[in-house]
Amino acid sequence: MSSGSSTDSKNAEMVAVDDSELFKTVDHCSSVGRDAETVVADLDGTLLRGRSSFPYFALVAFDIGGPLRLLLLLLAAPLAGFLYYVVSESAGIRLLIFAAFAGAKVEDIESAARAALPKFYAADVHPEAWRVFSACGRRCVLTANPRVMVEAFLKEYLAADMVVGTEIATWRGRATGGVRSPGVLVGGNKAAALRKLFPDAPPEIGLGDRKTDYPFMRLCQEAYIVPPKPQCEAATTDKFLKPVVFHDSRLVLKPTPLLALLILLWYPFAFLLACARVAAGSLLPMRHVGLAFRCLGVRITVRGSPPPPPKGSLLGSSVLFVCSHRTLLDPIFLSAALRRPVATVTYSISRVSDFLSPIKTVAVSRDRARDAAMIKRLLADGDLAICPEGTTCRESYLLRLSALFAELTDEIVPVAMVNRMSVFHGTTARGWKGMDPFYFFMNPNPVYEITFLEKLPAELTCGGGGRPSHEVANHVQRMIAGALSYKCTCFTRKDKYKALTGNDGTVKK
């Protein structure tokens, strides 16, 4: 009885490679004193909990080619699965690469990978593999995935020193759908890549999860298997090199094959529904928009006490609503909550959005004196909404507020705005912004929550209290962050666009 129990325990702790070798599971690898050592790890199923790379190909495919490219990838997926399990892992991955990338600009693939994938990769990091990987002083990743897809995340968030993956073939700046020599990085190709990286001495630790990883794992001084079961929670992101603050993908959820199919089936109906919702918001009087939205499945939740309309006979009675910025629809939902149109100032808004807007929108010039004079004129005409973050942020962070608003009036009402989308994001930094309101309304049941905070007391303003404008702006940022349980940051519009697009977000006139 004792002997049988011992055998069962040994089988649970080790995975057989062949008749002469056994690899221990990763939980048996010590992470103490590894600062001077090198670790080499696979990606899917090893550093990541998920073993399938389809969702990440789907994210890039949708980002660079929309629903048609995603449909092509989804149609290829069953054949890719057949090739993967019956022919070879290499053949299955080749087909996914062809369906997702063929004909696309390489710069678009790189941009999509940098902007869209880190959010989803970070939510899927294997805790045990990350424990070992992060403990080592030198970190290398060998993966069958295209290097162009994974390199940005691995280096910028997991602090990988070297990333070696499959190289996609290109012609005149576009992906051909093929791969460069030596082909897909699996099996012997991984072992050859490892020998090339470490010609003198083998690395100390190798991490893998499948038979095609065994060749490179045997070359390491220690090798450990990351078992597919039991299921485990993802690693916490607080130990990553940096948090994922900015990301840019139209899809909210990681698209498994089933979810991708449901998204494609929903897409045409969603667009028609979005058109109806946009028409209701654009054509109906603002006092009826809230009811129309409710009938069309859009929910608006209002908290706090909104101030009454300004009295035209009192100079300086107009209120400046200082809002957190989630989508370009913020001032429209603010107006719906107030049941009256409130003008707003914007920076970069598409002509389509401007044409469809049911409220007055005035573009700022980024010239401080001109913008100040323009905002004062608007306040003289009535209430005004402004989003001093300057750009949207999807995560639970508030960007730094521009302090200009604090210099122009003491009648300041902070407004904490947050929304919920289940399928599509209603913002983009890299795509066509004219589709932003449509994508928001293409969600089955989008929600906007609007919380009116207490009006800023006179002693905390520039005019009444003599406070510096940056101090007032920081106080308003903390008020909104506290109401939403968000974190305040010093990031600005330029930081967001540098992270997602490689430029400072300046719109050319």
User: Does residue 349 register a pLDDT over 80?
Assistant: no
User: Does residue 6 register a pLDDT over 60?
Assistant: no
Phi-psi region of 482 (alpha: psi -120 to 50; beta: other; left: phi over 0): alpha
Single-letter code of the amino acid located at 271: F
User: Does residue 384 register a pLDDT over 90?
Assistant: yes
Contact 13, 28 (CB under 8 A): yes
Distance CA 80, CA 75 (A): 9
Q: What's the mean per-residue pLDDT of the chain?
A: 90
| pLDDT at position 351 | 82
The predicted model gives 255-278 an average pLDDT of 97
pLDDT confidence tier of residue 106, bands split at 50, 70 and 90: very high
Residues 289-300: tens digit of each pLDDT: 999 999 999 999
Q: Which residues lie closer than 8 Å to 190 by C-beta, 6 or more apart?
A: 42, 142, 212, 213, 215, 216
Domain range annotation of the chain: 9-239, 257-500
| pLDDT at position 508 | 58
Cα angle: 10, vertex 11, 14; to 5 degrees: 85
| pLDDT at position 16 | 43
Please give the helix or strand (H or E) that residue 322 lies within, else none: strand 320-323
User: Does residue 46 register a pLDDT over 50?
Assistant: yes
Q: Which residues lie closer than 8 Å to 150 by C-beta, 6 or more apart?
A: 43, 113, 117, 121, 141, 143, 163, 165
CA dist 380 → 40, 214, 314, 343, 407 (Å): 64, 72, 10, 12, 15
Residues 166-210: tens digit of each pLDDT: 999 999 999 999 999 999 999 999 999 999 999 988 999 999 999
The predicted model gives 90-94 an average pLDDT of 94
- 3-state percent helix, strand, coil for the chain, nearest multiple of 5: 45, 15, 35
User: Does residue 506 register a pLDDT over 80?
Assistant: no
Cα Dmax for the chain = 94
User: Does residue 105 register a pLDDT over 60?
Assistant: yes
Distance CA 149, CA 240 (A): 19
367-386: buried (b, 16+ CB within 10 Å) or exposed (e) per residue? eeeebeebbeebbeebbbbb
Total residues belonging to the chain: 509
User: Does residue 413 register a pLDDT over 60?
Assistant: yes
Residue, of 502 and 78, whose pLDDT is higher: 78
The predicted model gives 404-422 an average pLDDT of 94
Distance CA 441, CA 444 (A): 8
Distance CA 40, CA 162 (A): 9
| pLDDT at position 311 | 65
User: Does residue 3 register a pLDDT over 60?
Assistant: no
Cα angle: 235, vertex 239, 242; to 5 degrees: 110
| pLDDT at position 507 | 59
| pLDDT at position 197 | 93
Contact 500, 246 (CB under 8 A): yes
Query: Phi and psi at residue 325, in whole multiples of 5°?
Result: -110, 110
| pLDDT at position 465 | 84
Distance CA 188, CA 77 (A): 25
pLDDT confidence tier of residue 22, bands split at 50, 70 and 90: confident
The predicted model gives 44-58 an average pLDDT of 94
Contact 280, 274 (CB under 8 A): no
| pLDDT at position 503 | 73
The predicted model gives 435-452 an average pLDDT of 96
The predicted model gives 358-386 an average pLDDT of 89
Q: What three-state secondary structure class fits 77?
A: helix
Residue, of 349 and 462, whose pLDDT is higher: 462
pLDDT confidence tier of residue 327, bands split at 50, 70 and 90: very high
Residues 459-476: tens digit of each pLDDT: 999 988 889 999 999 999
pLDDT confidence tier of residue 347, bands split at 50, 70 and 90: confident
User: Does residue 313 register a pLDDT over 50?
Assistant: no
Distance CA 402, CA 384 (A): 16
User: Does residue 336 register a pLDDT over 80?
Assistant: yes
The predicted model gives 297-312 an average pLDDT of 85
| Cβ neighbours, 10 Å, residue 343 | 19
| pLDDT at position 445 | 96
- According to DSSP, the β-strands at 14-16 and 22-25 are antiparallel
Distance CA 38, CA 135 (A): 9
Distance CA 298, CA 308 (A): 25
Q: Can you name the CATH fold of 9-239?
A: Rossmann fold (3.40.50)
Helices (H) and strands (E) in the chain, counts: 17, 18
Distance CA 162, CA 325 (A): 37
User: Does residue 5 register a pLDDT over 50?
Assistant: no
The predicted model gives 309-323 an average pLDDT of 73
